[in-house]
Chain A
Amino acid sequence: MMSDRIKELRQKCRSGAYHKYRKTGFDFSEIRSAVEDMDAAAAEAFALKSILDMETPVIISGERLQFTRTIGEVIPVFFPKKIMESAGKKKIWIMGNSNPDYRTIIFQGLEKRVSLIENELEKYSVGSEQHKYLSGMIQSCQAILSFADRYADAAREAGETELAELLDKVPRHPAETLQEALQSVYFMSAMYRLAGYAHIGFGRADQYLIDFYRRDIADGRESEESARELLAEFFLILCRDYDIFSGVQTGDNGQSMMLGGCKRDGSSAENELTTLLMDISADLKMIDPKINLRLDRNTSEKCLMSAARLSGCGLGFPQYNNDEVIIPGLVNFGYRLEDARDYTVAACWEFVVKNGNDLPNIDAINFAYVAVLAIRKMLREKLPFERIADELKNAMRSTLDERRKKWDEFYIAPGPLFSAFEDVAVQCGKDIATEAGYHHHIGVHGCGSSTAADSIAAVKHFVYDEKSISAEEMLSALENNFVGSEELQKKLKECDCKVGCSDKDADDALKMLFDIFAEVLGEVKDNGYGGKLRPGSGSAMYYVWFTQRKDRGQYLEATADGRAEGGYISSSLAPAPGVKPAGMLSVLKSYSKIDYNKICNGGPITMEFDPVCFASELAVAKMTSLIRGFVNSGCQQLQWNILDPDVLRHAQKYPEQHRDLVVRVWGWSGFFVELDKVFQDQIIGRHSFNG
C-alpha cells in the first residue's frame, strides 16, 4: 500500500539522508553560565531560545511536514543555580516519560495560549513565584513562535509559498487541516526535545486528529489516499532524528502513541484513524511511533484485524491495553474517573493520567531477590511453609526501605514548557511536575516475578510437600550456586511447577507476590510529593541490570527454580527464561491471577511468536480471538514479538545483513543490530510460541 513517494521517504530516513544537515561540536557553556542566576522557567526559556538560535531552518522541497534537526547531538539540560541548590547533592530528574497536551496545542495554538497565560499572570504581583513562573512559560512559547517564523521565512526564501503559509499558521494559530495539525504536533514535539525533555510520547493521536481527518475528506481537501500518505509522512518524520534523543538504548526514545479505547464520558472512542494508523504502521515497518491499542469487549473486529496484522509485522507492537481492568484499577488507586478513562501510556507501558504528573519509572523491586531472602530464611530457620507470606513481606519491606534511600537522592526538576499547556498548572501558576494537579505518584516496577513465583513453588513442592529435598540440601545448593548439586538443579529446572504451566502453586505464588507488593508499597502514605507509590508489573531494563550488574543493587544469586547466578530473568511478565510454558492460554491464565485493581503502574505480558502464527489471513483472524481472550481473561497489558532465534543469531554475526530487523526490547521496539549484546542475548533466550 506504500506509494513510491513514501517508499522513497522511508529509504531516505533509513539511510540517514537527513543527517547531512547536522553539525556537531556546539559550545553550550555560554548558555550554562547565562542561566545560572535565573529562575527555573526563565532559565528554560532562555536556554530554549539560545538552542533555537543555534538551529538552522531546513526546508525540504516535496515534503509536507517540516523540521529537521541541525544540532546533531543530544541537547544537554541547563539548570540555574536555584535548582542546583535546591537539589543539593541529589540527582536531578528531568520531567518526561509523559505526553504533552497536544490537543490543547493544536486546538488553541500558541498565540491564544500565551494570551491565556497572560490573563493568569495579572492575578499575581510582579516578583512573586507564580508571576516569574508564568512569565517563563510565555517566554518559552515566544521563543518557539519566533523560531517558527524563521522557518516560515526560510520557506518563503526557498520559494515554497505553501509551506511558508503552513509555518506561519502553526503552531501559532489553531490548526484547521490535518496537515496543520500534524505539523503542529511534530514541530512542538521537536521543541520539547530541544528544551531537554526526554521520553516524550504522542498520547491519543486518533482522538485529537480525527476531526481534521474527517473535515479534510468531507471538504475534498484530502482524498483518502493523500490523507493516508500524509499520515505516513508524519510517522516517517518521527524516525528522522531519534538517534539523537536520549535513552538507555537506541529506540528507547518514548515516542509512544495510544489508539482506541473510550472517551472521557465512557463511550467508545474507536474511529477511522484507530485502524488507519495501525495499517500505516504495518506498511512502514518502522520502530516509531510505538503503537498502543486500548481494548474492551466492544472493540470492533476490523480494529482487531488491523492490530493483529500489525503484530504480525514483527515490530513488537501494538501493545494491547485492557481498559476493562486498567480503568477500574486507576480509579481504585485514586484517580478521577474521567481522567482514568482518558489514560494513555508513557514511553513504555506505564499509565499516564491527565491533570497531574506521576513519575512512573523511578525504580524496581526485584521479586526474585526478595524471594531469595525469604526462602533462605525459611530454610535456615526451618520455618513452616505458612510463614512464606510473612517472610516475603518482611523481605519486600526491607528491600523497599533500602531502595527508597536511593530515591531521596532525586530532585525532580520543574517542566514549565510542559506545564504551559496544562490548565491545572496555568491556573495556579505552579509546575505540574511536582505541585500542580491532582496526583504526583511514583511508579515502582515489580520485576522478576516469574522467577520468584517458580522458586516459591519449587520450595513448596520439593522441600515442604514431597520432602524429597531437605532444607539443608536446598540451602546449601543455593548458597553454592548449585556447584556440586547439579542433579538437584536439574530437578528444579525440569519440574512443571512454573508460571505459564497451569500449575496452581506457581500461580498462587505469583498472585501472593503482587498482593504483598501492593500492600507494602501501600504502607508508604507520602512519597515526598504528596502522592503514593504505584505498583507495577513491568521490568524496564532492570531484568538485565539485576542479573548482570552487581553495582545496580538487588543482585540476583542462584534461585530455587534452578537458575544459576548470571542467568536472566524475564522482561516484564513472562515465564522465566528457559521454561517451556504449557502454551499461550496457560500463560494468560497465570497472569489473570494478579489483582490488577491493586497493580496499576502497567507492565505487559510479553509473548514471543514464530512467524508462522501470522502467515495467512486465517491465522491472523485466529490471533484476534487470542486478543479477545486476553481481554476476557482479565489480564492488563500484552505485547507480542515475532522472533526467529536463528535469524537473530545470524543478525548478531552479520549485522549489516539485518539492518531492518525489529524486536520488542522491554516497553519499546528497536532495531536488533543497534542493541547492546546483553540485551540481544536475553531476547534470543526467550521462549517462542509456534501455534
Chain B
Amino acid sequence: MADVSGTIFDIAECSLHDGPGVRMTVFLKGCPLRCRWCHSPEGQTNAVETLHFPDLPDRVCGKILSAGELAEHINSLLAFVPGSGVTFSGGEPMMQPEFLSSVLDRLEPGTHSLIDTCGFVPADVFLMLAKKVSCIFFGLKLLDDENSVRWSGQPSGRVIENLLLLDSETTTPYRLRIPLLHTVTDTPDYFSKLEKLCSRLKRMECIDFLPSNLDAGAKYPSCSRIFAPGFDTAYDCVLPENLKIKAPCRLLRRNEV
C-alpha cells in the first residue's frame, strides 16, 4: 500500500462528544469554508503555520505524517479501550481524500470510524469516503447560496447535493449537526427551508443543534486574524416548538459540544 502523507493539526485522545464511546478525534488541516463563527481558524489553511501567543512561546501548528503512522498510532491507543472509536474532523477531513482513505483502510477491523464533514467536496470523493466509515456527522450550515456565501464563503448547492447522495446512495448512518446562531440559523426562513430539505431525507437519524461557542474567537489573534462573526454569539437561541421534522431534534448544552 503506497503510504500517502497528510497534514493534521491536533489529536484529542478522549473527546467525549464527537461520537459514541470514548473518541479519539483527529483534526485534519485545511477547510474550503470560512464560517464566520469558526472556532478552529488554525484548521482552515492546509499549510503548516506558526501560531503566536502574547505570553507563551510560538507554536508550530500542523504536522505532516504518513497514513501508516497515523493509523498505527490510532490502532495502538484504541486497542485497549472497549467501545472506543476514531473521529476525523478538521478543518474539513475530506479535503485530504487519499490520505483519509488510506488511514481508514489501515484501521483495525471493527474500529468505529466517523467523519465530521461540512459536505463541500466533490461528490465522488464524498461518496467514496462516506461509504468507508461507520457514521457521518454532517455539519450543515446555510441552505441558500446568498446566505451561504455571506456566512461561510461558499454556495450551498454542492453541500445539499452531497447530503441527498449520502441519504440515497449509501447506507452509512448519519446525523445532521447544525450551529444554531442568532439571526443566522434561528430564523423562521431558515427553519422552513430546513423542514423542506429534511422531508426529502429518508435515513437521517437526528439533528443536533449546536449552541454558539462562547470562546470561538479565542484562537484568532494567534493566527493573526480578526474574529468578526457579525451576530451575537452570546445569545441563547431556542428551537421552535413546532418544527416539522420527523427525526428527533435536540439542542445540545454548551458542555455537551
Interface residues of A (CB under 8 A from B): 490, 494, 502, 582-586, 588-589, 592, 612-613, 615-616, 618-619, 622, 625-626, 628-629, 632-634, 689, 691
CA distance A634 to B57 in the complex (A): 36
B residues near A615, Cβ cutoff 8 Å: 255-256
CB contact under 8 A between A585 and B13, given known A625-B81, A625-B82, A629-B82: yes
B73: Cβ under 8 A from any A Cβ: yes
B111: Cβ under 8 A from any A Cβ: no
Which of the residues A494, A584, A634 comes within 8 Å of B13, measured between beta carbons?
Answer: A584
Interface residues of B (CB under 8 A from A): 11-17, 21-22, 24, 57, 73, 76-84, 255-256
CA distance A615 to B16 in the complex (A): 10
- In the complex, the chain B residue whose C-beta lies closest to that of A496 is B63
20 examples of A-B residue contacts, CB within 8 angstroms: A494-B57, A582-B13, A583-B11, A583-B12, A585-B77, A589-B76, A592-B80, A615-B255, A615-B256, A622-B16, A622-B21, A622-B22, A625-B81, A625-B84, A628-B82, A629-B82, A629-B84, A632-B79, A632-B80, A634-B80
A residues near B22, Cβ cutoff 8 Å: 622, 625-626, 629
Of the listed residues A502, A584, A585, A632, the one surrounded by the most CB atoms of chain B closer than 10 A to its CB is: A585
B residues near A583, Cβ cutoff 8 Å: 11-14, 24, 77
Is A632 a contact partner of B77 (Cβ separation < 8 A)?
A: no
Is A582 a contact partner of B16 (Cβ separation < 8 A)?
A: no
CA distance A615 to B256 in the complex (A): 8
Output the least CB separation between A585 and chain B (Å): 4
B residues near A689, Cβ cutoff 8 Å: 14
CA distance A583 to B11 in the complex (A): 8
A residues near B11, Cβ cutoff 8 Å: 582-583
Extra inter-chain contacts (15) besides given A584-B14, A626-B22, A633-B80, CB under 8 Å: A490-B57, A494-B57, A502-B73, A582-B13, A584-B13, A585-B24, A616-B256, A618-B16, A625-B22, A625-B81, A629-B22, A629-B80, A629-B82, A632-B81, A634-B80
CA distance A494 to B58 in the complex (A): 11
Is B15 a contact partner of A691 (Cβ separation < 8 A)?
A: yes
Output the least CB separation between A489 and chain B (Å): 12
CB contact under 8 A between A628 and B77, given known A494-B57, A622-B21, A691-B16: no
* Number of A-B residue pairs having CB atoms within 8 Å of each other in the complex: 67
Is B77 a contact partner of A613 (Cβ separation < 8 A)?
A: no
Output the least CB separation between B112 and chain A (Å): 12
Output the least CB separation between B54 and chain A (Å): 17
**Which 7 pairs across A and B sit closest by C-beta, in order of nearness?**
A583-B13, A629-B81, A632-B80, A585-B77, A633-B80, A691-B16, A585-B13
Is A585 a contact partner of B81 (Cβ separation < 8 A)?
A: yes
Output the least CB separation between B162 and chain A (Å): 29
- In the complex, the chain B residue whose C-beta lies closest to that of A633 is B80
Output the least CB separation between A295 and chain B (Å): 13
Output the least CB separation between A679 and chain B (Å): 26
B residues near A626, Cβ cutoff 8 Å: 14, 22, 81
A residues near B80, Cβ cutoff 8 Å: 588, 592, 629, 632-634
Is A502 a contact partner of B16 (Cβ separation < 8 A)?
A: no
Output the least CB separation between A642 and chain B (Å): 14
B residues near A616, Cβ cutoff 8 Å: 255-256
B residues near A490, Cβ cutoff 8 Å: 57
Is B256 a contact partner of A586 (Cβ separation < 8 A)?
A: no
CA distance A612 to B256 in the complex (A): 9
Output the least CB separation between B84 and chain A (Å): 6
A residues near B255, Cβ cutoff 8 Å: 612, 615-616
- In the complex, the chain A residue whose C-beta lies closest to that of B83 is A625
CA distance A585 to B15 in the complex (A): 11
A residues near B15, Cβ cutoff 8 Å: 691
CA distance A629 to B255 in the complex (A): 24
CB contact under 8 A between A586 and B13, given known A502-B77, A629-B22: yes
CA distance A72 to B43 in the complex (A): 62
CA distance A459 to B137 in the complex (A): 44
B residues near A584, Cβ cutoff 8 Å: 13-14
Which of the residues A502, A618, A691 comes within 8 Å of B14, measured between beta carbons?
Answer: A691
B residues near A494, Cβ cutoff 8 Å: 57
CA distance A585 to B77 in the complex (A): 6
CA distance A582 to B74 in the complex (A): 12
CA distance A397 to B80 in the complex (A): 36
CA distance A633 to B24 in the complex (A): 16
A residues near B77, Cβ cutoff 8 Å: 502, 583, 585-586, 589
- In the complex, the chain B residue whose C-beta lies closest to that of A625 is B22
CA distance A588 to B22 in the complex (A): 14
Output the least CB separation between B152 and chain A (Å): 28
- In the complex, the chain B residue whose C-beta lies closest to that of A581 is B13
- In the complex, the chain B residue whose C-beta lies closest to that of A592 is B80
Output the least CB separation between B39 and chain A (Å): 15
Output the least CB separation between B99 and chain A (Å): 20
- In the complex, the chain A residue whose C-beta lies closest to that of B23 is A622
A residues near B83, Cβ cutoff 8 Å: 625
B residues near A628, Cβ cutoff 8 Å: 81-82
Is B76 a contact partner of A619 (Cβ separation < 8 A)?
A: no
Of the listed residues B21, B79, B82, the one surrounded by the most CB atoms of chain A closer than 10 A to its CB is: B82
- In the complex, the chain A residue whose C-beta lies closest to that of B76 is A589
- In the complex, the chain A residue whose C-beta lies closest to that of B24 is A585
Output the least CB separation between B23 and chain A (Å): 9
Output the least CB separation between B199 and chain A (Å): 30
A residues near B256, Cβ cutoff 8 Å: 615-616
Output the least CB separation between A540 and chain B (Å): 28
Of the listed residues B17, B22, B255, the one surrounded by the most CB atoms of chain A closer than 10 A to its CB is: B22
A residues near B82, Cβ cutoff 8 Å: 625, 628-629, 632
Of the listed residues A592, A613, A625, the one surrounded by the most CB atoms of chain B closer than 10 A to its CB is: A625
CA distance A490 to B22 in the complex (A): 34
Output the least CB separation between A651 and chain B (Å): 22
B residues near A589, Cβ cutoff 8 Å: 76-77
CA distance A494 to B14 in the complex (A): 23
Output the least CB separation between B59 and chain A (Å): 9
- In the complex, the chain B residue whose C-beta lies closest to that of A635 is B80
Output the least CB separation between B70 and chain A (Å): 12
Output the least CB separation between B250 and chain A (Å): 12
- In the complex, the chain B residue whose C-beta lies closest to that of A626 is B22
Output the least CB separation between A322 and chain B (Å): 12
CA distance A502 to B75 in the complex (A): 12
B residues near A618, Cβ cutoff 8 Å: 16
Of the listed residues A613, A626, A691, the one surrounded by the most CB atoms of chain B closer than 10 A to its CB is: A691
B residues near A585, Cβ cutoff 8 Å: 13-14, 24, 77-78, 81
CA distance A612 to B80 in the complex (A): 23
- In the complex, the chain B residue whose C-beta lies closest to that of A631 is B80
CA distance A583 to B84 in the complex (A): 14
CA distance A691 to B12 in the complex (A): 8
CA distance A629 to B22 in the complex (A): 10
CA distance A520 to B155 in the complex (A): 68
Output the least CB separation between A502 and chain B (Å): 6
CA distance A472 to B57 in the complex (A): 26
Of the listed residues B12, B15, B80, B82, the one surrounded by the most CB atoms of chain A closer than 10 A to its CB is: B80
B residues near A592, Cβ cutoff 8 Å: 80
Output the least CB separation between A41 and chain B (Å): 50
A residues near B84, Cβ cutoff 8 Å: 625, 629
- In the complex, the chain A residue whose C-beta lies closest to that of B63 is A496
A residues near B73, Cβ cutoff 8 Å: 502
A residues near B14, Cβ cutoff 8 Å: 583-585, 622, 626, 689, 691
- In the complex, the chain A residue whose C-beta lies closest to that of B77 is A585
- In the complex, the chain B residue whose C-beta lies closest to that of A691 is B16
B residues near A613, Cβ cutoff 8 Å: 16
B residues near A586, Cβ cutoff 8 Å: 13, 77
CA distance A409 to B31 in the complex (A): 67
B residues near A691, Cβ cutoff 8 Å: 14-17
